[in-house]
Structure 1
Amino acid sequence: MALPHEIATTRLRTILVTILAWSIGICFALPLIWMFVSSFRTGTEIFSSLYPLGPALLLPERITLENYQSLLDSPFALSVGNSLIVTAITIIIGLMISASAAFALSALDFKGSKAVFGIVVLSFLIPFDAIAVPLANQFRDWGLANTYTALILPGLANGFAIFVLRQFFLAIPRELAEAATLDGLGPWGVFWRIYLPLSRTALIGAGFTLFLFQWGAYLWPLLIATDPSMVLGPVALANLNGQFEVNFGRIFAASVLLTIVPLVLLLFFQKYFTASLATSGSKG
């Protein structure tokens, strides 16, 4: 039985750790809160509230929707729509490719499987920026510049998503697949009826990986989509910097619009994403 002073010490330690965690969390959140609040201010009001530091930094005297209205009336809205389309297609097709590849590498015995898996691991260790320029030249030679196909293709076969799904599939008992095979199911039936229903957590984690890769992509869309009608959100955000002036209110509003989508998804699927990463190292 714990002594009273030990209980008090434990409670005090818990309180201190909680206060420290909240303090660190608030420090990380403050720039985001300031960006969100500033998106409802004009450019001059944003910087007039910086000095002296006080409640006015996070409490605007006057709220305006002018920044958001100007964005909705500009090509930026089309760019966000392009990002949504490209990201959605990438997640749907990319999950099909990644799950199929992970199933083949984990449940099917074929010659050279370990070598193929090594190539998959190597693929996500190489920064995409290192191959972006020659790959863009190749896509232009194929006549794919300024197309959704060019924007989507590089994000479909994601090595990290395949790795996460393979590690999860390895944890599924082989006996289930063997029993299903005895019942007459082929490899596709085992994959569709056994592995996929048991892998919701891993699929969400892999899907979130594909989402982050595509939603935040900047260099590749900048290289391959020069047509104004094909520009994606991150590139459009960078283009908001004017040649002679910078409207920080519009930039902050655009940043909020691009941030709110992954933020909402992370709030809903955080536990699945964390669980998928936790299982990725459970088996080799």
Structure 2
Amino acid sequence: MKTSPMNRRRKIFRPSKSIMLAITVVLSLVFMLPAVWMFFGSFRPANQILSSLNPLSWNSLFPSEYSMNNYITLLFERGFARNLLNSAIVCIGSVALGLVLSLMAAYALAVLKFPGRNLLFAIVIVGFMVPFEAVAIPLSSLFTDWGLANTFLGLILPGIGNGLAIFNLRQFFLGIPVSYREAAKIDGASEIRILFQIYAPISVPALINTGLLIFLAQWSSYLWPLLMVNTSDMQVAAVSLASTFGERGVDYGQNFAGALMLALVPAILMLVFQRYFAAGSSSSGEK
């Protein structure tokens, strides 16, 4: 069967896979340039970061000399190491308490039958759709009156009531066969035992996903710590990093170093736990 001239032209001018791959690589490198510039800029003195851009050269991206002064000054002289520790404490506490609370709430909304269950679930949905900034100021006034300002508890509590986390776990629980719970009930198991010995082990991928949601929300939180903390020793890393921007200038070297450390923690967590995402709901299938 003969091909028409039009079809031959299409075959001739169709880009090959190697060309498409080359274009993709080039575009990826272009989009990565700001991150690469920030990474290498964190090893430069602050006064050389912008001056190296004029004129543009190989030295604009890669410094001729590397120094750890930005990291040392930021971590130890400006107390950023303490701020990173504060962020870690807040995030770990929020994840631990938030997972327990979300697990029990999701189980009740997905499995238990009681009047008003759908109404409560609708309230949860509406709750996580309301921006936190809309309630942050009146909520901070309440926390200050309760004596929770400048405390880890005051920083942790707003992060444990995460409506998106409850929604995520509830949707996963709905895919678990009801026969698992019915068999456990016949054996005399309580609801708490069913939750923590049957539903929780099956839901490990969903729990890790939910834990990461809570962790990332707290790790990048800025407004709430800014309202609740007024001492440098109790401040979290995201707010402390803003101190590198002064009234008369910006220390770009320290700013790049701090931003890199803040971005590195979530990236490592995503790299470590990414294998759990593929598990999905396959572990909840009835055999």
| TM-score, length basis structure 1 | 0.89
Give, in angstroms, the shift of residue 16 of structure 1.
4.9
Give, in angstroms, the shift of residue 20 of structure 1.
4.6
1:147 to 131, 148, 151: 151
C-alpha offsets along residues 81-125 of structure 1, whole Å, 9 cap, x if unaligned?
100110011011111111111111111111111111111111110
Give the Cα–Cα distance (whole angstroms) in 1 for the partners of residues 162 and 278 of structure 2.
18
Q: Would the aligned equivalents of 1:93 and 1:156 in 2 still touch at CA under 8 Å?
A: yes
Match of 1:242 in 2: 246
1:25 to 24, 28, 32: 28
Match of 2:53 in 1: 50
Matched, 1:255 2:264: no
Letter in 2 for 1:84: A
| TM-score, length basis structure 2 | 0.88
Q: Would the aligned equivalents of 1:208 and 1:273 in 2 still touch at CA under 8 Å?
A: no
C-alpha offsets along residues 111-146 of structure 1, whole Å, 9 cap, x if unaligned?
111111111111110110111011111111111111
Match of 2:112 in 1: 108
Give the Cα–Cα distance (whole angstroms) in 1 for the partners of residues 69 and 270 of structure 2.
28
Give the Cα–Cα distance (whole angstroms) in 1 for the partners of residues 143 and 20 of structure 2.
52
Give, in angstroms, the shift of residue 275 of structure 1.
6.5
Give the Cα–Cα distance (whole angstroms) in 2 for the partners of residues 89 and 17 of structure 1.
46
Count how many residue pairs are aligned between Structure 1 and Structure 2: 271
Give the Cα–Cα distance (whole angstroms) in 2 for the partners of residues 193 and 55 of structure 1.
59
C-alpha offsets along residues 198-239 of structure 1, whole Å, 9 cap, x if unaligned?
111101110010011100000000001112211111110011
Match of 2:86 in 1: 82
Give, in angstroms, the shift of residue 274 of structure 1.
7.1
- Cα separation, partners in 2 of 1:260 and 1:180, compared to 1, 3 Å: same
- Cα separation, partners in 2 of 1:95 and 1:67, compared to 1, 3 Å: same
- Cα separation, partners in 2 of 1:141 and 1:114, compared to 1, 3 Å: same
Give, in angstroms, the shift of residue 29 of structure 1.
2.5
- Cα separation, partners in 2 of 1:18 and 1:94, compared to 1, 3 Å: farther
1:64 to 35, 47, 67: 67
Structural mapping, 1:154-193, within 5 Å: 154-193=158-197
Match of 2:4 in 1: none
- Cα separation, partners in 2 of 1:17 and 1:205, compared to 1, 3 Å: farther
Question: What is the RMSD computed on CA atoms of the aligned residues?
Answer: 2.2
Give the Cα–Cα distance (whole angstroms) in 2 for the partners of residues 173 and 255 of structure 1.
45
> Could you say which structure has the larger radius of gyration?
2
Give the Cα–Cα distance (whole angstroms) in 2 for the partners of residues 20 and 106 of structure 1.
47
Segments of 5+ residues of structure 2 without an aligned counterpart are: 1-7, 283-287
